[in-house]
Structure 1
Amino acid sequence: MTPQPLAAVRSIKVKLGLLVAASVLVATAVATLGRAGGVPPWLGVPVTVALALAVTQLLAAGMTSPLRQMTAAARRMATGDHGVRVPETSRDEVGELARAFNTMAADLAAVDRQRRELVANVSHELRTPLTGMRALLENLADGVGPADPAALQVALGQAERTSRLVEDLLDLARVDAGRAPLVPEPVRLAALLADAVAEAEVLGRPVTYDVRVSPPDLVVAADPARLHQLVANLLDNASRHSPAGSTVRVEAGQEGERYVVEVHDAGPGIAPADRERVFEPFGTLAAGDATGGGTGLGLAIARWVSDLHGGTIGFVEPEGGPDGPGGARVRVVLPLSPPERVADEPVGSAGSETVAAQPPRPADVRAAGVAAPGVLDDLFGGFWPARPVPPRLGLLGGALATGALAATLLVERDLGLGTLLVLLAAGGVLLAATPRRRDPWTLGCAGLCVLLAVTTVVRDAEWLVVLCLLAGVATALCGVTRPRTAAGIVLTGLAWPLAGLRGLPWLGRTVARLTGRGQGAAVLRTLVWSVLGLVVFGALLVSADALLAEWVDAAVPDLTTDLLVARVFVTVAVGGVVLAAAYLALDAPRVDRGTGDPRPVGRRFEWLAPVLVVVGVFAVFLVAQATVVLAGHDHLRRTTGLTYAEYVHQGFGQLTVATALTLLVVWAAARKAPRATAADRAWLRGALGVLCLETLVVVGSALHRMHLYQEAYGFTTLRLLVDVVEGWLGLLVLASFAAVVVLRSTWFPRFALVSGVVALLGLAAVNPEAWVADHNLERYADTGRVDWTYLQGLSDDAVPTLVDGSADLTPDERSCVLAGRTGTGAGSDLWEWNLARSRAADALAGVRLEDAATTGSSASPCGSPS
């Protein structure tokens, strides 16, 4: 049961007031504490909001659950289940409403019980005299007593019809009362059908029966009496509606783990609009027969028997469709073994989801409950439906431990070994949470995430490390949600922050599991005594041994007030985001829902004309590029007034955007273009193939332009990153071309994600800042032009290259390029260790720089690009 901290409050207004007051107080206290401790707003605001939401969820738990339970109970009562009840735990106005609802439900159950008893009693009382009348009429019809045979035969027919009606009413009364015994046993289907046909032939109707069973020795598990009743009612209905001299076909066969029985008559058939209504009680008129002698209950009982066995029944289109021979064709699909059912389990009837349970005894009114839908179900809808996710104390503990580890290793430290350990711990929690941790896609994403996390101890450039961390987060989330579409990948990124809200009920159940085991007081006492023993004896022994004191200083973080507050905030923040990601892995949303192929356009020109326009625009651009190459720079200068360097710089950004938009055009056209005929597929391959090939030429042009621009104006990490992005887009264009050729693109979104991650890992492996430093020094040696200020701003990744490359520089230039680098960036803290900073310190260890006072003077090249 959901905990209700405010259950004792008798007014819902007071509850809402307490809820608002508690949330405001918690938010104010946390915000004040964070501001006093120097916590930055980007960390303090999310933690404050998260804690306020947690307090709101804790106090509001159970306030609206009775209302949601009453809604669910009312829907079940509308289907005939009057045994549902809602808890009466609250003392406020909602609790009073719950008690009134239970009273109403009890009254409705009593009325329903009386109705069923009335039907059963009337049927029972009528059966005995009708049986006697039938026997008397049989004697008279046989000539035992003097009578008019024709009149007596009519009376006998009416009596038989009344008897059938009573028997059918008794069967329906059993269904309504929920007492439908099912005794399955092995049944030879061919023999059962033969017996049913023999019984139908006794009725004397002028029809013949054609029975076919495949395989002939088919044996099923079923209640023979109930199954015989179902077949007999279908045969009776078919023979009654078939014309004289016609044939009623009965076919049965196995289909996988189920078997099918079909009865096809030669009558007038049933209109599609009436095929469901004929299974309702007294639905004979819907079947097109007002005088056939039926009670109108046979098909209703047939559906009840099929539901009892866990199967389905319905009228389907006759063989040959509307233009075929006609007639009605009823199809019954049943499992080879019916599902196990406890005694007196309610059974639905007439195709509905009715649950006709026995009404509870007065002493059991509060024992029968109904589960309430979550308050977040309407918010998330079909995108993230509620699932019975069990509490996971291990995930909660793992997330909190990761947060504590981050607070210990990250506060007031640079990125390094400690960051890698925190990332690996978070990844371990995420992998433990996902139920498909052995899936190849999930394992592949986990391997990529580890490689991306290693950049924190290999590279010092913050922009590169941050890009790798963001890519690692995206890859990890896609690894656990397993999207297959581009929209699914985007929704996965949006689902991570939403998981913090969607997982609040699960978090509440997990915390309730933690505190509801009856051992809270014992755990608290044990924790207090353990901490006391650690503090007392630890302080004594540390003060007695200097070496132990050094170890403790190195292992125990600084717990001054400001740092303690910062560590608490980091613990909550990191633990919260890890827990949200773990819930996302544990209960992944339907990120690919509703992203299937759309309906193609009706006419080919609707998609082809826009694509051909884009193809023509690209063709004109390529002609212009060829003109520049063939006519030379002088022609370019005369016609545009631009130098070649200015010309290539002017268009690079536009070409990059055009490449990305081309991918969007290919995606949209491939989704909307029809593929029904060979001509459709040929036009699709031809138009999009030409567009992809033109785009590859544009990509080559863009990369060439950037190369010329870097040669003219220098190399930077941003320009190198843009080169990598353009090359990655070119790879996607090539992949799009392959998808167009084979007309299959389900693999493309995952390929785009993985190839992007691999490209980023390749960039990190190249060491971009060292590459930029090396090329700028080479350019300086060739042209005498370099931006010294930019080189000074490179990270420690570039220091070994700068040290080696500056050997041929003048002392002033060497001091300028290495200005401000002391070689102490590696630090002495183990958790800050980084390979790039360590190599930089080693490279600078033996370097003797000139007096830095000359740096920036008029005689020095430092200060402005040359």
Structure 2
Amino acid sequence: MSGLLMDHVTSVKVKLGLLVAISVIVASIVAAVGAAGSVPLWLSIPVTVGLALGVTQLLAVGMTSPLREMTAAARGMARGDYSARVSASSSDEVGELARAFNRMAEDLAAVDRQRRELVANVSHELRTPLAALCAVLENLVDGVAEPDPVALRTALDQAERLSALANDLLDLARVDAGAARLSTTEVSVAELLERAVAEARVAGRQVQYDVRVTPPELIVPADPARLHQLIANLLDNASRHSPAGGVVELTARTTGSGWRLEVADEGPGIPVADRDRVFERFGTLTEAEGGGGTGLGLAIARWVTDLHGGSIHFVDPAPRRTGARVRVDLPSEPKHHVHVIRKAQEPVMTKPVETPAPVVPVAQRPPESGMDMLFGRFWPEVDLPGNVRAVLYCLGVGVLAGIVLPFRSLGIGTFVVLLAAGAAILTFSVNRRSRFTQACAALCVLLAATSVLRDAEWIVVLCLMAGAAVCMAGLVNGRTLPSFVAAGVSWPLAGLRGLPWLGRSAQAVKGLRTSAAALRTILWSLLGVVVFGLLFASADAIFAEWAGAIVPDLEIDTFVLRAFVTVAVGGVVLAATYLGLNPPNVDTGSGPVRPVARRYEWLVPVLLVDAVFLVFLAAQATANFGGHEYLERITGLTYAEYVHQGFGQLTVATALTLLVVWAAARKAPRATTADVTWLRASLGLLCLLTLVVVASALYRMHVYQEAYGFTELRLLVDVFEGWLGLLVIGVMVAGVTMKASWLPRAALLSGASLLLGLAVLNPDAWVAQHNLDRYAETGKVDWSYLQGLSDDAVPVLAELPDDVADCAMADRERSDDDWLEWNLGRDRAQSLIPAAPTAMPTTCVSDPPR
């Protein structure tokens, strides 16, 4: 539809102006609606940008499609296919270019057709006299007539060469005619190869032939004459380019889908860039081609392979070998393929014809889009069809989120939306059968369940963020830390990369024959539910209450917000679904790491770091054994101030130690036993010292909390430091086994699991309990901080004596949640919270926070 609207515009500049104007208008309208509906900016801006990009893609696809079709058609012409034509419906400069391209393609097709007809005519005219000449010369050579052996042998050699040329030309004419039939029978591969080798030895070239067939009794259905022709051309090509005394290997073996034939020589080989060109007819690489030196042998070999439904191509030589190696894969049952050079089949004719080739639109393979060129090898999109079902699933999740999430606290409704989103994403993921992806999915479900378990939003949000990171890593099936980072970056980029796929999905709707019937069914169903629902709601108060709990409030302000939430959540889920359908190449890496040439280049820095750690631990021991008086005399700090001063630095030092170990392990050579021993000893010592630093950091935080109180942040930092220590232990295990490929995934899953464990621990209740224990011992507590804890801490705070209970429970109100907001933490607190909020008594004395 967008293409038809733009087709009548006669200027590309005007089209671009209209595209920009329409996109700006759409963005302005969406932004204005969002502002009128009091939609927050953090939600309004991404939805506006996303809709503007979608409109731009919808309008631009019709403008750029002729250019993409021309690119695909030009590539087909490079392969000898001149039948493709470009859609030229627009009236602008691109349309004129498309029409000129079609005229050029027709001219090239006519020239190519005339060339093929000339080859067929010449072959037909030369074959009969050459056959007669060969017969006469054979009689002379056999002694039937008086011969001059030298002259007659020379004449016979030349006649046979011309005969081979004529046969090749005729075979090529059959290829260009468009079709040839197979006469299949059961063929013994070993006998066929031996016969072909015996004929190749007659040529007298100084090479040896090594034939291997696995299993030796291999029998395949094939056309023996065509297959013999294929093998003969390949052997001739290999023996021609092998050095004197060289070996030509001829192997055949079964595969999962058929059988494979390989011919390898010890010649100069074929450059990778030229391996496809050697199969071209009348190509420029005739020295590399076979077929009796005519430059047609490999073209005929490809033709025979195509007739059997197989494939042929040159591959790299075997390890520690040189030369060329051609591989032919043939199916277990010949598919009787018709080797088609053009869509319109033409018989071989002896007179020129002027019938133009029919117009065939370029629709066999999606042309390369601008997104393909933008993302390149990092994120290719090969033959990914549109998926209407995936788009509808994601839209359904967005609608569910628009109904459930606005104006509600975290609870059952949030968990249901997250489950629906995860199910939609995992259903279409290409890696859904991977064990790592399945483990990530299970962990994501547990992390999402914290929205039902805990009222403390800080831990729930952290768990949901960790779940998102784990989900992205599982979708791309990453294995390294850089791949996890690339997966996280790819999620928002998927909204841009997936625009062409979204366009194909939208176009696929037009081809669904049942779409109209399905749409009618949905409309009639909704109408029936609305009509009878309104009648029953007005007739029965209980039914009205039930309906009110399900049907959201659809006033104009709330409707706008729900619409924005629908688009935002649906778009986020759709981007993740595309990421699962077409994950980027996140584990390509930058190639093998080159170790340093001398051991001291990495060992000296590591040993110096070890020395710094030893000096630091000596200082720690001095502080511990010297006592508080020694510490205050030397530093002027109390012990609590001393331990608080260095906790952050120790945490950073632990993380940097992991970086040092990673860098040293990558650059250290491992060629000798001494190299490995030094690597294990130096890095193992560093890891042991790091574990002592981790223990020191945790002890410092414990002392500081005992002195100044417990908080959520301090507890979270404790868990983070403990996780770093766990990673150090994992590094030590990897150093013992010298295998670390498992470590990045283990680090990701263990970090998310520790965060989940913290949520299960009920951190707000833990912080409240330890602060109250400190209050019982010292009489010091920060009542204001305890009041700010979530309802998860209420069961602990409710155990306080009556004279101080109001100090912790002041200003706390009962929540009025519906069933979609039900949450275990809030539900347990409801009966313990006073019915009416109370103010903090003046007798409550708070210890100032530090």
Q: Same fold (TM over 0.5)?
A: yes
Flag the 1:612–1:163 CA change in 2: closer, same or farther, 3 A: same
Flag the 1:230–1:766 CA change in 2: closer, same or farther, 3 A: closer
1:33-87 CA-partner distances (Å, limit 9, x unpaired)? 1111111111111111111112112222221011011112112212322222222
Which letter does structure 2 place at the counterpart of 1:391?
G
Give the CA deviation at 1:449: 1.8
Which letter does structure 1 place at the counterpart of 2:47?
V
1:334 aligns with 2:328: yes
Once structures 1 and 2 are overlaid, which stretch shifts more, 163-172 or 557-566? 163-172
RMSD over aligned Cα, in angstroms?
A: 3.7
2:42 alignment partner in structure 1: 42
C-alpha separation in 2, matches of 1:699 and 1:683 = 24
1:632 aligns with 2:631: no
1:713 alignment partner in structure 2: 708
1:88 alignment partner in structure 2: 88
1:344 alignment partner in structure 2: 338
Once structures 1 and 2 are overlaid, which stretch shifts more, 392-401 or 101-110? 392-401
Which letter does structure 2 place at the counterpart of 1:624?
A
Which letter does structure 1 place at the counterpart of 2:171?
D
| Alpha carbons 2:278, 2:289 under 8 Å: kept | no
Give the CA deviation at 1:256: 5.0
| Alpha carbons 2:396, 2:570 under 8 Å: kept | yes
C-alpha separation in 2, matches of 1:841 and 1:240 = 91
2:793 alignment partner in structure 1: 798
2:224 alignment partner in structure 1: 224
| Alpha carbons 2:694, 2:725 under 8 Å: kept | yes
Flag the 1:658–1:815 CA change in 2: closer, same or farther, 3 A: same
Flag the 1:580–1:614 CA change in 2: closer, same or farther, 3 A: same
C-alpha separation in 2, matches of 1:864 and 1:455 = 32
1:732 aligns with 2:721: no
SS of equivalent residue, structure 2 residue 328: strand
C-alpha separation in 1, matches of 2:91 and 2:247 = 65
1:561 aligns with 2:550: no
C-alpha separation in 2, matches of 1:293 and 1:780 = 99
| Alpha carbons 1:483, 1:592 under 8 Å: kept | yes
C-alpha separation in 2, matches of 1:233 and 1:795 = 81
SS of equivalent residue, structure 2 residue 651: helix
1:669 aligns with 2:664: yes
SS of equivalent residue, structure 2 residue 85: coil
Give the CA deviation at 1:3: 6.4
1:215-256 CA-partner distances (Å, limit 9, x unpaired)? 543334443223323444566678889999x89877545365
2:650 alignment partner in structure 1: 655
- Give the one of 841, 845, 848 matched to 1:861: 845
2:106 alignment partner in structure 1: 106
Flag the 1:821–1:602 CA change in 2: closer, same or farther, 3 A: same
SS of equivalent residue, structure 1 residue 334: strand
Which letter does structure 2 place at the counterpart of 1:118?
L
- Give the one of 736, 739, 743 matched to 1:741: 736
Which letter does structure 1 place at the counterpart of 2:720?
V
1:767 aligns with 2:751: no
Larger Rg: 1 or 2?
A: 1
1:833 aligns with 2:822: yes
Any residues of structure 2 matched to 1:33-72 within 5 Å, and which?
A: 33-72=33-72
TM-score, length-scaled by structure 2: 0.88
| Alpha carbons 2:207, 2:243 under 8 Å: kept | no
SS of equivalent residue, structure 2 residue 86: coil
Give the CA deviation at 1:742: 0.7
C-alpha separation in 2, matches of 1:692 and 1:121 = 81
1:27 aligns with 2:27: yes
Which letter does structure 1 place at the counterpart of 2:253?
Q
Gaps of 5+ in 2: 348-354
Flag the 1:502–1:183 CA change in 2: closer, same or farther, 3 A: farther
Any residues of structure 2 matched to 1:698-709 within 5 Å, and which?
A: 698-709=693-704
- Give the one of 794, 804, 807 matched to 1:816: 807
1:351 alignment partner in structure 2: none
Once structures 1 and 2 are overlaid, which stretch shifts more, 621-630 or 504-513? 504-513
Give the CA deviation at 1:794: 1.3
SS of equivalent residue, structure 1 residue 115: helix
C-alpha separation in 2, matches of 1:222 and 1:18 = 60
Give the CA deviation at 1:10: 3.7
C-alpha separation in 1, matches of 2:458 and 2:488 = 21
1:397 aligns with 2:392: yes
| Alpha carbons 1:161, 1:295 under 8 Å: kept | no
Which letter does structure 1 place at the counterpart of 2:400?
L
The total of aligned residue pairs comes to 834
- Give the one of 509, 512, 515 matched to 1:514: 509
C-alpha separation in 1, matches of 2:565 and 2:289 = 75
Give the CA deviation at 1:401: 2.4
Which letter does structure 2 place at the counterpart of 1:508?
G
Which letter does structure 1 place at the counterpart of 2:339?
E
Any residues of structure 2 matched to 1:585-596 within 5 Å, and which?
A: 585-594=580-589
C-alpha separation in 1, matches of 2:431 and 2:587 = 17
| Alpha carbons 1:8, 1:90 under 8 Å: kept | yes
Flag the 1:762–1:22 CA change in 2: closer, same or farther, 3 A: same
Once structures 1 and 2 are overlaid, which stretch shifts more, 829-838 or 129-138? 129-138
C-alpha separation in 1, matches of 2:722 and 2:180 = 70
1:761-801 CA-partner distances (Å, limit 9, x unpaired)? 11112211111112112212222222222122111111111
- Give the one of 362, 365, 377 matched to 2:359: 365
Give the CA deviation at 1:122: 1.6
SS of equivalent residue, structure 2 residue 39: coil
Give the CA deviation at 1:645: 1.5
2:352 alignment partner in structure 1: none
1:387 aligns with 2:382: yes
2:411 alignment partner in structure 1: 416
2:123 alignment partner in structure 1: 123
1:72-120 CA-partner distances (Å, limit 9, x unpaired)? 2112212322222222233332122112111101100110111121122
Give the CA deviation at 1:408: 2.1
Give the CA deviation at 1:431: 2.4
1:750 alignment partner in structure 2: 745
1:15 aligns with 2:15: yes
Which letter does structure 2 place at the counterpart of 1:816?
C
Flag the 1:364–1:570 CA change in 2: closer, same or farther, 3 A: same
Give the CA deviation at 1:734: 0.6
Any residues of structure 2 matched to 1:590-629 within 5 Å, and which?
A: 590-594=585-589, 597-629=592-624
Which letter does structure 2 place at the counterpart of 1:832?
E
Give the CA deviation at 1:723: 0.5
SS of equivalent residue, structure 1 residue 843: coil
C-alpha separation in 2, matches of 1:548 and 1:236 = 87
C-alpha separation in 2, matches of 1:41 and 1:764 = 30
| Alpha carbons 2:249, 2:263 under 8 Å: kept | yes
Any residues of structure 2 matched to 1:273-352 within 5 Å, and which?
A: 286=287, 301=300, 310=310, 312=312, 333-335=327-329, 337=331, 340-341=334-335, 343-346=337-340
| Alpha carbons 2:401, 2:417 under 8 Å: kept | yes
Give the CA deviation at 1:583: 1.9
Which letter does structure 2 place at the counterpart of 1:739?
A
Flag the 1:70–1:493 CA change in 2: closer, same or farther, 3 A: same
SS of equivalent residue, structure 1 residue 186: strand
SS of equivalent residue, structure 2 residue 66: helix
1:350 alignment partner in structure 2: none
Flag the 1:38–1:127 CA change in 2: closer, same or farther, 3 A: same
SS of equivalent residue, structure 1 residue 487: helix
Flag the 1:764–1:230 CA change in 2: closer, same or farther, 3 A: closer
SS of equivalent residue, structure 2 residue 7: coil
1:285-331 CA-partner distances (Å, limit 9, x unpaired)? 95899xx9965655665576567664557699899979xxxxxx775
C-alpha separation in 2, matches of 1:465 and 1:548 = 34
| Alpha carbons 1:141, 1:149 under 8 Å: kept | yes
Once structures 1 and 2 are overlaid, which stretch shifts more, 568-577 or 162-171? 162-171
| Alpha carbons 1:417, 1:456 under 8 Å: kept | yes
SS of equivalent residue, structure 2 residue 669: coil
2:350 alignment partner in structure 1: none
Flag the 1:798–1:136 CA change in 2: closer, same or farther, 3 A: closer
Flag the 1:123–1:438 CA change in 2: closer, same or farther, 3 A: closer
| Alpha carbons 1:11, 1:93 under 8 Å: kept | yes
C-alpha separation in 2, matches of 1:366 and 1:319 = 45
SS of equivalent residue, structure 1 residue 612: helix
